[in-house]
């Protein structure tokens, strides 16, 4: 009887360990996506591997774009951000690496901005469920770093279209001169990032 209880106890520990290992990457990805969605970039950075530069560069670009763009454009960026919906569809864990597949529904800003450039009208479309959306499938790769799961790679799940909106659609929202100014500043920022400035 003691042997059976011991075996059951060990089995419970093993299975709960496996369950925890599979849940931990999910929680990290969910927290990261929520932090980005809520513009909490310091928190978002805390989920990124020290070995990654791509995600960090993307987050820095996002912060920069929102800093240099007028409030009207920033409001559209935030609306696009808040309208995005992500769902984790699968998790696979092997040793110190995990792959989290994500299905995203994000605003189709190109279609939206053909309909209207007014943030209030975009918000109304969102509230009524009439905002044009598009589907994406993506994946986060996570690694164990200092005992914690950290995101080392993000592919195809970006819910934010800040740079795209700022460069491609600023002219529709703000006019030609302001769009050129923003585009030039973003280019300068990206060149500085490439040089490590």
**CATH number, domain with residue 169:** 3.10.450.50
Per-position DSSP letters for 18-80, written without gaps between them: HHHHHHHHHHHHHHHHHHHHTT-HHHHHTTB-TT--HHHHHHHHHHHHHHHS-HHHHHHHHHH
Separation of alpha carbons 50 and 151, rounded Å: 9
User: Locate tokens 């950290």: which residue?
Assistant: 150
Would you state the pLDDT for residue 22? Answer: 46
- Total tally of structural domains belonging to the chain: 1
Cα distance between residue 54 and residue 144, in whole Å: 18
Using the predicted structure, report yes or no on whether residue 174 has a pLDDT greater than 80: no
**Distance separating alpha carbons of residues 107 and 122, to the nearest angstrom:** 10
pLDDT in tens, 55-77: 777 778 878 888 888 888 888 77
Digit-coded pLDDT (tens) for 124-164: 988 888 889 889 888 999 999 989 999 998 887 654 455 56
State the pairing for strand pair 148-155/85-94: unpaired
pLDDT value of position 196: 64
Please give the pLDDT value at position 59: 79
Q: What is the pLDDT of residues 76-128, one digit of tens each?
A: 777 777 788 889 999 999 999 999 999 988 888 888 888 888 888 888 988 88
Whole-model pTM: value is 0.71
Residues 3-58 pLDDT 10s: 433 333 333 333 334 334 445 999 999 999 888 888 788 898 899 998 877 777 77
Q: How many CB atoms lie within 10 A of CB 22?
A: 14
Q: Report the pLDDT value the prediction gives residue 157, as an integer from 0 to 100.
A: 63
pLDDT of the residue at 7: 35
CA–CA dist 44, 37 (Å, integer): 9
Q: What is the mean pLDDT of residues 168-188?
A: 81
Q: 153 is in which domain, residue-wise?
A: 2-194
């Amino acid at each position: 009887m003691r042997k059976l209880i011991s075996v059951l106890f060990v089995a419970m520990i093993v299975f709960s360990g496996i369950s925890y290992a599979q849940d931990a990457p999910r929680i990290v990805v969910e927290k990261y996506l929520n932090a980005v969605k809520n513009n909490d970039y310091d928190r978002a950075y805390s989920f990124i591997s020290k070995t990654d530069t791509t995600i960090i560069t993307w987050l820095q670009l996002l912060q920069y774009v929102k800093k240099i763009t007028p409030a009207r454009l920033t409001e559209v960026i935030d609306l696009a951000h808040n309208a995005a919906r992500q769902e984790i569809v699968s998790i696979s864990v092997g040793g110190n690496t995990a792959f989290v597949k994500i299905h995203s529904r994000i605003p189709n800003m190109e279609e939206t901005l053909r309909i209207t450039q007014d943030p209030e009208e975009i918000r109304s479309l969102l509230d009524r469920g009439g905002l044009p959306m598009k589907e994406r499938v993506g994946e986060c790769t996570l690694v164990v770093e200092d005992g914690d799961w950290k995101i080392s790679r993000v592919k195809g799940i970006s819910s934010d279209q800040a740079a795209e909106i700022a460069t491609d659609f600023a002219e529709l929202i703000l006019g030609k001169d302001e769009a050129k100014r923003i585009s030039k500043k973003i280019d300068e920022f990206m060149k500085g990032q490439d040089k490590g400035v």
